[in-house]
């Protein structure tokens, strides 16, 4: 594959117009290649004007009236309804609020309560050793609070580790380091066959590929709970609000039996502006709201989600997935062709059905320094300890020529040995 061939692929790409939704003019002018959208999506062009409208007109002029007049009070649910279209859920079952970790605490608490009420002998929360650390911190803390055990196993052993003592299986759909993707449908069925509840973290999949939380619609194939991030592939801006989903079979039970989520707050009350002294949870997933919605951040998040929904007219999430597979396959092939002999090892699966939308490459001695040297050459990826160079492929805006240029510069960094310069050995706070 040559660079000219990549340019030709971009010209033929039916999804190419989607890149124009983002403020990438400065990057294009400087030749910068941005491959870190799996950590922070770029700025949607519409977001700056929308946030300015919220700040200057709705807040500045409308003041508190904007909760009603500008629709602030329903903004989070309108956004949740849009996210539902991206994850195979029904509108009312998705909530936008808080952070991914906070939302995980809520749904894991609910799952543990349900699982142990039905089968008190189930005392294990099962997850992967390599799951995102924040998820494991939340799970460990909650397990300790409830007298449960957090059991960690290797990714290949997850299904085999399910047993009669498993209450909940908690997994991230796409591994944040390696890019390995679980078969959501088959793992969910295995968890249910073992009598456990299934929670998915969609932080590295929602917005980059089709997700079907309801599976085939059967109880066995439908997940129980899910959480997800707003600032990665959903392009909602730094620290954007996250989302959660609860299957209606569980919220109906919570309604019937009066169960609360652990962070009961006034926006999760059935009638928040009644200001009642006693707490009465809102029906359905709305109970998982807590405090006042962050309106400015929500406005930016909606612009980001709209960039993903814009793909619907050009083939939808299936088309995004096809492009993602093509781009990641090209990246892997080019690395193996052009960077051989420099100690790199691709750790992302070659099998496309097991691959998310980023490529991870290991280097035993200098992964962090190589990433820093690559950034100095105008290719932004990131480093994940202890030895991973990670490159996010966001099919909404990543081009085939971006992949070629990134690997070309990676080859130059390796061949020149410039990554060994002491300035690249200084690790920044955020990697």
pLDDT tens for 286-318 read 999 999 999 999 999 999 999 999 998 899 999
Positions marked catalytic: 132, 201, 231-232, 390
Name the nearest CA neighbour of 392 among 33, 85, 148, 103. Answer: 33
What is the percent of the chain where pLDDT is above 70? 100
Q: Look at residues 304, 334, 354 and tell me which one is the last residue of a structural domain.
A: 304
Number of domains composing the chain: 2
425 pLDDT band, cuts 50/70/90, is confident
Same structural domain, 346 and 421: yes
Same structural domain, 297 and 320: no
Q: Answer whether the bond into residue 365 is a cis peptide, omega within 30°.
A: no
254 lies in some domain: yes
pLDDT for residue 68: 98
The torsion angle over the Cα atoms of residues 313, 315, 321 and 327, rounded to 10 degrees, is: -90
Same structural domain, 39 and 160: no
231 lies in some domain: yes
Residues 6+ apart with CB under 8 A from 13: 323, 399, 400
Least confident of 193-197, 258-262, 309-313: 258-262
369 lies in some domain: yes
Asked if residue 92 has pLDDT above 90, the reply is no
Same structural domain, 147 and 197: yes
pLDDT for residue 216: 83
Same structural domain, 398 and 419: yes
Asked if residue 162 has pLDDT above 90, the reply is yes
Name the nearest CA neighbour of 207 among 383, 355, 78, 356. Answer: 356
Same structural domain, 78 and 148: yes
Query: Structure pTM?
Result: 0.96
58 lies in some domain: no
* CATH number of the domain that residue 99 is part of: 3.40.640.10
Tokens (6 digits) for 311: 């793909």
Residues 6+ apart with CB under 8 A from 230: 96, 236, 237, 240, 241, 242, 243, 301, 304
Same structural domain, 256 and 351: no
pLDDT for residue 322: 97
pLDDT tens for 222-231 read 999 999 999 9
29 pLDDT band, cuts 50/70/90, is very high
Domain that residue 29 falls in = 3-44+316-425
267 lies in some domain: yes
Residues 6+ apart with CB under 8 A from 245: 84, 87, 89, 93, 94, 95, 213, 223, 225, 226, 227, 228, 285
pLDDT for residue 218: 86
* CATH number of the domain that residue 368 is part of: 3.90.1150.10
Same structural domain, 284 and 421: no
């Amino acid at each position: 594959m040559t660079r000219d061939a990549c340019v030709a692929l971009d010209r033929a790409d039916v999804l190419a117009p989607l890149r124009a939704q983002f403020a990438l003019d400065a990057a294009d002018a400087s030749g910068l290649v941005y491959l870190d959208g799996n950590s922070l999506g770029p700025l949607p062009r519409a977001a700056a004007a929308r946030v300015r409208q919220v700040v200057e007109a709705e807040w500045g002029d409308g003041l508190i009236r904007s909760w009603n007049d500008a629709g602030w009070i329903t903004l989070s649910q309108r956004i949740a309804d849009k996210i539902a279209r991206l994850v195979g859920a029904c509108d009312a079952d998705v909530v936008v609020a808080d952070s991914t970790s906070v939302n995980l605490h809520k749904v894991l608490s609910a799952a543990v309560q349900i699982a142990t009420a039905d089968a008190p002998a189930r005392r294990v929360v099962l997850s992967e050793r390599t799951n995102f650390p924040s998820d494991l911190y939340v799970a460990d803390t909650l397990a300790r609070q409830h007298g449960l055990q957090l059991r960690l196993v290797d990714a290949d052993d997850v299904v085999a580790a399910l047993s009669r003592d498993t209450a909940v299986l908690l997994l991230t759909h796409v591994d944040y380091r390696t890019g390995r993707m679980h078969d959501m449908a088959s793992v969910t069925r295995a968890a249910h066959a073992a009598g456990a509840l299934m929670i998915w973290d969609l932080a590295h999949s929602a917005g980059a590929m089709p997700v079907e939380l309801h599976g085939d619609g059967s109880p066995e194939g439908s997940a129980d709970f899910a959480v997800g991030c707003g600032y990665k592939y959903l392009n909602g801006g730094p620290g954007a609000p996250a989302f959660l989903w609860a299957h209606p079979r569980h919220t109906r039970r919570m309604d019937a039996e009066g169960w609360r989520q652990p962070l009961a707050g006034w926006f999760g009350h059935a009638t928040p502006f009644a200001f009642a002294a006693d707490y009465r949870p809102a029906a359905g997933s709305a109970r998982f709201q807590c405090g006042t919605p962050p309106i400015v951040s929500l406005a930016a998040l909606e612009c980001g989600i709209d960039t993903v929904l814009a793909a619907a007219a050009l083939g939808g999430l299936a088309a995004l997935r096809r492009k993602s597979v093509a781009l990641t396959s090209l990246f892997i092939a080019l690395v193996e062709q052009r960077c051989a002999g420099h100690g790199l090892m691709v750790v992302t699966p070659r099998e496309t059905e097991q691959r998310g939308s980023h490529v991870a490459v290991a280097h035993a001695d200098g992964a962090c320094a190589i990433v820093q040297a690559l950034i100095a050459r105008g290719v932004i990826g990131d480093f994940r300890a202890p030895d991973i160079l990670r490159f996010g492929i966001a099919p909404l805006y990543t081009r085939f020529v971006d992949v070629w240029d990134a690997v070309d510069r990676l080859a130059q960094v390796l061949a020149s040995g410039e990554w060994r310069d002491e300035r690249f050995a200084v690790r920044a706070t955020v990697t």
